[in-house]
Structure 1
């Protein structure tokens, strides 16, 4: 995805979600901001003068927040009737106070659908003909109306905004946002070729705000004889017949063009031309697979210690290394919000299920290791390489699927084309990190040994020497290539599957070997997404996560916890949970209702 402004000056490609001022201004008095331990650490490290300056800055920030709250109260009082009638609230977006509609299941798709419904239902109610248009930029929807109907269309929408907190903008006014509930705003667009209509939307906690990037563009097409001509380019047709055939289609054709698990009842009108399937369109189903373990589960720890020969109590004392930070919950939230086109999510576990997971929810299935291992006698296994070698055996899994670790998250709205080509090829994402040259040695950690073993197989089979690791990304895979790898490298595949614990002769299949094998057999190509990896144990990570939360400018990010003692675990656990709750405050459909 490319994070560039569209014709309206709106940044697109990052999901359009931004923290609200309420979420970003988490400042208060010094003693409320910092716990006792934090204040003591600062006192030991900084001089009284330095501490005084910190307190002054916190005080200034607190005063600024109070000023914002005063302005917000005055703004709410001015628009009290509109806010009360529409059930809206006041937020800050682009540095300005805005009226926003709360949505319990906020996502880019739900915002697009609601904005499209606002426009199409108002036009239909007034008897104004329209048709939806498919454009290359699919973060916003587009509705076409004859230029002769422009005055009537603008009037109808202006009247609708008398009781609805709508906003509007246009390329003709440089992307400046105007309040649609102020009638004078509409006069500025009387000659506009395109007007974007939208409402700000926020989650119930007001931590996220969606704005113009997911609005509905009202295009005014000029009549020339028996043809209507578009005011700008689109993906299908620059002209259509004035009397062309209109068809009724689900709104998701335009609001969720890649598919959605949450199909609504809204339908819209379009022309047959804009239902055309293009060569670049991905129409095949795509599933997602997670592997997950609750390493703090006493039963799992007992099994692990029994097969490893180590003391159960020693393992329990070091449970922080395997404990669950609730990453899976938030990774699923990222898929639910940013990839509604995923058909089914398969959660592969050692007969474990998170207590919060609603296994009856449509679109998710829990799969036991017993159901996918060709040789069940090697179970139980505690080797992620072994588990990963069996993923393509999942019953019902689609040919094309994404493999996620639970510490990988979508940071913005994704499209199938980010991971696959329409002809079925997969994309992979090389890392600048290198696999050390040379054969495996006793000093290698299991991950490095697996990388070297992968490289040896590629060298023998194709004559090249892979040196790059792969990023901690969603891995785009096909079952057919994984079947081929299992057959072609049968001995190494079976050996890896049989190892209960990671060993020096493992191969790492979905995270590395697959990509190099598929590339050499012309079934995969390199891809590029905005990505960041954060080691939670690094001292700079807290400030880096603050920036990530503020900017939301990554397509994918990974939070890897490498801590190994209880003290570090407690710090990392607070850091991870606090960040993820702020980044993904909207519960997914897969969570049990509290």
Structure 2
């Protein structure tokens, strides 16, 4: 009830020891909330605030040096949820009325405060920023427009704006990742006119609400993340913002990986025996790229692809790892949200096993027990490159998206001289022409493939003979059909269940001369939605290639996922803080 001006005068007269005690209480609240958010997002619990693993750092972000809190297990989405936690705690500590909004910025939390309480809100935020350094700027400002939130002049500069961006920056122990204003929270000040609070900018639900509108308590996840991801805590809002919107993805989305460990001597011996005709079948004449060692090479890409999933797509429900009875040594098979599936559990005809053909394995994915209707199919050489929402892959009405390449399927029927990828594309084209009388021309990008079980099941029925032949092809064959990576998309399009989409994507051939330069650019900018690191031919210096790829993946994805065993050496190395003198910049 004390006016803001009077309150500031009172605060100035409070003895310094008492002020320090109040700030310490904010520190405790922040530490608890940070640890809770990271744990809820699947990360590891924070170390004590003043340990080497959880301290302030001065780090570089988009060309400028900023203060950030070092948090073990930090992820982009957890940083976003943490910012909402702190903002709401600050407003609640000051007794400031607020309500959360489904805002103008789709993927960022938005909080509304009556414009008449702006001075009080700014005062409380300055106190919070004094203890935990953070930044404030106009909601539409770039990173360079963010200013230190504990300075009065920063607030004077943004008072003409009705919507602000506030953020407490976070970095991981390696300081390779810094989450700044892009993972912040928007704060809107709603002016009152004729007994109604009016939005200072458009949002997706209402333009105004009554001043005395009842407040409802809802989970913060409704505002901090896309529905389906999990966080903790509650928030206040008005009735209009409590219901899901038509643009929300309300159905579960799973992920399926196919993976092989080429270093397994039993698997290698079996592959060689099949290839040479020593397991009952005659030796097979294969294209050079159908079964070369580069196609099966594993550099632990799966570990880093899972890290990318953990970091940038926490809305995934369950990850299914389809293998030939193999399990990575570092994988925690008891972790929530991961299931290992053997080929024997999904192949409709066990006589088709063993197989070393990804087309054959992909033809059986819809047989996975418990798999959701909507899922993403990934090879282990595909990675998420920045925070993504389900809308990149699926429409909210259930339609899936596909991503066409500029590369064209060569003309003519499939031939034994064709590259395996070209022969498969030709076979897919022939089936679509036969069924619908239209001609497909484009290949698909090597991205996550959004799929539906029902479409895959229909393909197995409609193209039974081609499906059976693909299932029984132990290595890539000119008769293969690329069911998951091509036919699904075009068949779904012609039956009204899929549509063309767009994403920012990069493909890097690791054997190319420019591979290192492209990896360096990718790491420097981190501006692609997904990317693929692919081998098609063997590299002349495998050890140098191994070092190049490992260094890149360690730098791009330094934070272990919840799927990794905490007792592994790789996990301990990833979570070890670097010496502070290498990261801090002396003033």
TM-score by length of 1: 0.82
- In structure 2, what is the equivalent of residue 572 of structure 1? 545
- In structure 2, what is the equivalent of residue 124 of structure 1? 92
> Which deviates more from structure 2 when the two are superposed, residues 284-293 or residues 416-425?
416-425
Q: 1:228 to 1:84 in 2, by over 3 A?
A: farther
Question: Quick check: 1:326 aligned with 2:300?
Answer: yes
User: What whole-Å deviation, never above 9, does each CA across 1:134-180 have from its counterpart, x for those lacking one?
Assistant: 12423322110111111111111111222111211125988722112
What's the offset of the Cα at 1:83? 12
User: What whole-Å deviation, never above 9, does each CA across 1:60-102 have from its counterpart, x for those lacking one?
Assistant: xxxxxxxxxxxxxxxxxxxxx9999983111122333221011
Contact 1:296 1:319 in 2 (8 A): no
Contact 2:104 2:204 in 1 (8 A): yes
The equivalences for 1:199-278 within 5 A come to 199-260=168-229, 263-278=230-245
The equivalences for 1:122-201 within 5 A come to 122-170=90-138, 176-201=145-170
Q: 1:409 to 1:112 in 2, by over 3 A?
A: same
The equivalences for 1:239-388 within 5 A come to 239-260=208-229, 263-309=230-276, 319=293, 322-388=296-362
Q: Secondary structure at the match of 1:110?
A: helix
Give the alignment partner of residue 583 of structure 1, picking from 518, 533, 556: 556
CA distance in 2, matches of 1:170, 1:426: 36
CA RMSD of aligned residues (A): 2.3
Q: 1:185 to 1:306 in 2, by over 3 A?
A: same
CA distance in 2, matches of 1:85, 1:354: 28
User: What whole-Å deviation, never above 9, does each CA across 1:260-297 have from its counterpart, x for those lacking one?
Assistant: 1xx33321111121123222222111111010001121
Contact 2:294 2:535 in 1 (8 A): no
What's the offset of the Cα at 1:318? 7.5
Q: 1:84 to 1:435 in 2, by over 3 A?
A: closer
User: What whole-Å deviation, never above 9, does each CA across 1:278-326 have from its counterpart, x for those lacking one?
Assistant: 22222111111010001121110011112222799xxxx9755522111
CA distance in 2, matches of 1:86, 1:503: 54
CA distance in 1, matches of 2:294, 2:543: 8
TM-score by length of 2: 0.83
Give the alignment partner of residue 523 of structure 1, picking from 463, 486, 497: 497
Give the alignment partner of residue 109 of structure 1, picking from 77, 80, 96: 77
Stretches of structure 1 that go unaligned for 5 or more consecutive residues are 1-80
Q: 1:457 to 1:173 in 2, by over 3 A?
A: closer
Contact 1:205 1:585 in 2 (8 A): yes
Question: Quick check: 1:482 aligned with 2:456?
Answer: yes
Q: Secondary structure at the match of 2:130?
A: coil
CA distance in 1, matches of 2:79, 2:366: 35
Give the alignment partner of residue 592 of structure 1, picking from 565, 570, 578: 565
User: What whole-Å deviation, never above 9, does each CA across 1:417-468 have from its counterpart, x for those lacking one?
Assistant: 1111111111111111111111112211322222111111111111112121
Stretches of structure 2 that go unaligned for 5 or more consecutive residues are 1-48, 280-290, 569-587
- In structure 2, what is the equivalent of residue 391 of structure 1? 365
What's the offset of the Cα at 1:489? 0.4
CA distance in 2, matches of 1:86, 1:156: 24
What's the offset of the Cα at 1:105? 2.0
The equivalences for 1:12-161 within 5 A come to 87-161=55-129
Question: Quick check: 1:417 aligned with 2:359?
Answer: no
CA distance in 1, matches of 2:546, 2:262: 14
CA distance in 1, matches of 2:375, 2:75: 22
Q: Secondary structure at the match of 1:237?
A: coil
User: What whole-Å deviation, never above 9, does each CA across 1:178-210 have from its counterpart, x for those lacking one?
Assistant: 112334433434454222211121111111111
Give the alignment partner of residue 455 of structure 1, picking from 429, 436, 448: 429
CA distance in 2, matches of 1:302, 1:407: 24
User: What whole-Å deviation, never above 9, does each CA across 1:230-276 have from its counterpart, x for those lacking one?
Assistant: 1111111110111112111221111112321xx33321111121123
Q: 1:198 to 1:451 in 2, by over 3 A?
A: same
Q: 1:326 to 1:311 in 2, by over 3 A?
A: farther
Q: Secondary structure at the match of 1:162?
A: helix
Q: 1:502 to 1:171 in 2, by over 3 A?
A: closer
CA distance in 1, matches of 2:75, 2:251: 23
CA distance in 1, matches of 2:231, 2:505: 32
Q: Secondary structure at the match of 2:474?
A: coil
> Which deviates more from structure 2 when the two are superposed, residues 179-188 or residues 275-284?
179-188
> Which deviates more from structure 2 when the two are superposed, residues 319-328 or residues 339-348?
319-328
Q: Secondary structure at the match of 2:191?
A: strand
Q: How many residues align?
A: 507
CA distance in 2, matches of 1:292, 1:516: 25
What's the offset of the Cα at 1:562? 2.3
Contact 2:162 2:188 in 1 (8 A): yes
Q: 1:180 to 1:226 in 2, by over 3 A?
A: same
- In structure 2, what is the equivalent of residue 14 of structure 1? none
> Which deviates more from structure 2 when the two are superposed, residues 245-254 or residues 289-298?
245-254
CA distance in 2, matches of 1:223, 1:281: 30
Contact 1:296 1:322 in 2 (8 A): no
CA distance in 1, matches of 2:149, 2:298: 47
Q: 1:590 to 1:82 in 2, by over 3 A?
A: closer
CA distance in 2, matches of 1:173, 1:340: 27
CA distance in 1, matches of 2:470, 2:66: 57
The equivalences for 1:416-455 within 5 A come to 416-455=390-429
